[in-house]
Amino acid sequence: MGATKKELIALTESGVLNPRIRVETVKNPWRVSDGLDLVVELSAGAVTVEKNDKDWETLLLARRRSRAPLQDLVQAIRVGRLTVGRQDGVPGFHGIVVPKSEVDVIAAPFRTTSNIVIEEVPGNMAAAEFGRSVGLRDGGVFLSMIDAGHVPAFQIINPRTGRLQYRMTPEDMAAFHRRFVTLTTLSAEMGQHRNTLKATLAARGITPFSPDGQNFGPVYLRADVAAVMR
């Protein structure tokens, strides 16, 4: 059905797709036809979307970003409340995408303010400022990493502007450094010029972190560059 392992798990846990039998000793509990039928159903009337179109996202990314349950997003497709696209050249379930703007409307009731505070806490840093400190000058791209669930952060209502703002605790920043490196942070750790490191990574075939083709700038998984650092 063209789904990743994470997508299959999510579809199962949400009850959208059910195995024919739930016995651990059964090696093949799935009906292939069930998965194929689901793809055909959800793809009906889909429009073609370019692979890197940032206005669209896969259903799992939509769930993670918006906090809307996967089964609700699927139901919205079924009743026509959510437009469906198919990424050009991406077959199966993983190629099914939905527009972010429509997902936001559907997800509104599921959003909570439990992680929103009014005042700043000493020791925390604005997420955009932290992004700049690690060499990611495009604040919008770094904030999109937070929206996609790759970087921990929380929201406050800025007391000066009255607007929502992402901020990061020292623990959030440490979590970023444990998982990711940038050319700026790698240069500081290794004492080499960023251009030298960039060329070395490219020569080793190490590419920036880009799940599902998303572009987050020159951010690398620490695990991928571990050999270079050694």
With a cut of 80, say whether residue 31 has pLDDT above it. no
Within this chain, do residues 99 and 135 fall inside the same structural domain, yes or no?
Answer: no
Within this chain, do residues 212 and 123 fall inside the same structural domain, yes or no?
Answer: yes
State the pairing for strand pair 164-168/125-126.
antiparallel
Within this chain, do residues 87 and 134 fall inside the same structural domain, yes or no?
Answer: no
Within this chain, do residues 96 and 186 fall inside the same structural domain, yes or no?
Answer: no
Q: Which two tokens stand for residue 165?
A: 């703002």
Of 76, 91, 110, the last residue of a domain is: 110
pLDDT, averaged across the chain: 84
Task: Please state, in angstroms and rounded to a whole number, the distance separating the CA atoms of residues 14 and 6.
Answer: 12
Domain that holds residue 195: 116-229
> What's the longest Cα–Cα distance across the chain?
59
Within this chain, do residues 22 and 97 fall inside the same structural domain, yes or no?
Answer: yes
pLDDT reported for residue 149: 86
Within this chain, do residues 91 and 54 fall inside the same structural domain, yes or no?
Answer: yes
3-state secondary structure 93-106: HHHEEEEHHHHHHH
- pLDDT class of 112 with cuts at 50, 70, 90: very low
**Burial grade of 199 (CB within 10 A; 0-12, 13-18, 19 or more):** exposed
Name 81's bridge partners: none
Phi, psi for 151 (deg, rounded to 5): -130, 130
Number of domains in the chain: 2
E strands present in 12-163: 47-49, 56-58, 85-87, 96-99, 116-117, 125-126, 154-157
Phi, psi for 75 (deg, rounded to 5): -65, -35
Within this chain, do residues 99 and 143 fall inside the same structural domain, yes or no?
Answer: no
pLDDT reported for residue 220: 94
Within this chain, do residues 134 and 170 fall inside the same structural domain, yes or no?
Answer: yes
Within this chain, do residues 120 and 191 fall inside the same structural domain, yes or no?
Answer: yes
Within this chain, do residues 189 and 222 fall inside the same structural domain, yes or no?
Answer: yes
- pLDDT class of 113 with cuts at 50, 70, 90: very low
pLDDT reported for residue 227: 76
- pLDDT class of 175 with cuts at 50, 70, 90: very high
Q: Which two tokens stand for residue 161?
A: 């502007």
The pTM assigned to this predicted structure is 0.49
DSSP 165: E
Tell me the per-residue pLDDT of 61-82, one tens digit each, with 9 for 90 and over: 998 888 888 888 999 999 888 9
E strands present in 175-214: 180-182
Instruction: Identify residue 147 by its one-letter amino acid code.
Output: D
